[in-house]
Amino acid sequence: MIRHLFRIVWNRRRTNFLIAIEIFLSFLVLAWVVTFGVFYLDNYARPLGFAYDNVWSVRISMHAADMELTPADKLPFEQTPAGQRARIATLLGLLRDLPEVASATAAMNAPYSSSSWTTSVDVAGRAHEFGANEATDTFADTMQLQVTRGRWFSSADDGATAWRPTVVNERLARELFGDEDPVGLTVQPDPPKIKDVEPQPPMRIVGVIGDFRKGGELAPADNYAFFRNNLDASVKSPRRVPRWFLVRARPGTTAQFEEQMIRRLQQGERDWSFRAQPLIRARATVLRSYLPSLSTSALIAAFLLVMVMMGLTGVLWQTVTQRTREIGLRRAKGATILNIQHQVLGEVLVLTSLAVAAGALVVAQVPLLEVVGGIGGRVYAAGIAISVVCIYLLSIACAWAPSRLATSMPPAEALRYE
């Protein structure tokens, strides 16, 4: 039976080629949209790595002089990086004195914020890229990070001068050390390839956390590392100045706390400005930012599939109409209505199988060529599988009405059909 269907399809190859092209293009569009849909759903199902409930983020804005536009040796101490860290340490103390505050921390960037820091380290000739942040010792408690191995930063790291205390996520730990326990190991970066570039200090791994997806639920799980910033003005390193406060409020705290917190910070530093918002609001903003692209992709895919469905149904309808005498002859020789329907549906399924096989071969090249980064093979496989099922259902739906048309006419009338 299958061999007979392939022979029929081959004998009508000119007409069937156009149908197969339509199915092939439909599959490519569907596979693209479905794969990205599966990618975002897979991201959403993964652990976020931190808790955003009852947490406020506060953006610190400093004057131009504080942004190091002037040489450090000509600035007063309070405007140097060391002086700025000391001022931030004072502000943290003011925040912790508020009765509504359960924990507060300072960091270079905050979850759900547009500010980011991506860096890399060359080890044994291989570059390892990762997102990074500098945070104080209370960051893990404030954001409720899950430390899976080792510990978070503490006063035990105060004497670290020859290396940087570092906490990495499990993904980066596997990339750097494989299955070996990274706690206590040191990452020694390669010497810089460019002359006069200061070498990176060694990274001593003191702890490992699970996933940390700063960009939110729809962001992919990437490599991530935290460096310690203890805000000690007497220490030259780290050189970065935190730009964010993260404040965890006690349960039941009202929205009025935000105004009270900003007022307290403004009293402590009249030369700086502060902008606060709950992380839950920042989360909603980030999720809404994905809607335009997702909605546009879904609408375009739906429009193309509807057009293809209409065109495919029309082509099949015309094809069945042209074969009315052939179908009438089969009916006259004893073929049942079910036999005719199976033949029409079988031919469409053969065309669909050929088109899907070609489409799957094309889509499978994308992860091999690394055209789109961040999407794993498991997501591609799921996207292709779902697309295959959908395109078969679409083809069957398009062939159902023409197959009913083929059996609606009595054999005697079909044989006289012109």
pLDDT at 65: 45
Distance (Å, whole) CA 344 – CA 334: 17
Buried b (16+ CB within 10 A) or exposed e, 390-405: bbbebbeebbbebbeb
pLDDT at 69: 47
Q: DSSP states of 395-415 as a string?
A: HHHHHHHHHHHHTSS-HHHHH
Which H, E and C letters describe 252-263, residue by residue?
A: CCCCHHHHHHHH
Q: What is the mean pLDDT of residues 20-31?
A: 83
How many CB atoms within 10 Å of residue 343? Answer: 20
pLDDT at 188: 85
pLDDT at 75: 59
pLDDT at 138: 95
The two structure tokens encoding residue 355: 């088109």
Distance (Å, whole) CA 84 – CA 61: 12
pLDDT at 66: 45
Q: For 323-375, what is each residue's pLDDT tens digit?
A: 666 666 666 666 666 777 777 777 777 888 888 898 888 887 776 666 565 67
Distance (Å, whole) CA 407 – CA 357: 30
Taking each helix axis as running N to C, give the angle between helix 13-45 and helix 2-11, from 0 to 180 degrees, rounded to the nearest 10: 120
- For residue 184, the SS3 value is coil
Distance (Å, whole) CA 125 – CA 189: 9
Has this prediction a pTM greater than 0.85? no
Lowest mean pLDDT among 98-102, 117-121, 122-126, 374-378: 374-378
| pLDDT value at 112 more than 80 | yes
Mean pLDDT of the chain: 81
pLDDT at 10: 59
Q: How far is CA 38 from CA 33, 214, 217, 381, 383, in A?
A: 9, 20, 13, 10, 6
Q: For 171-224, what is each residue's pLDDT tens digit?
A: 999 999 998 999 999 988 877 766 656 677 889 999 999 989 999 999 888 899
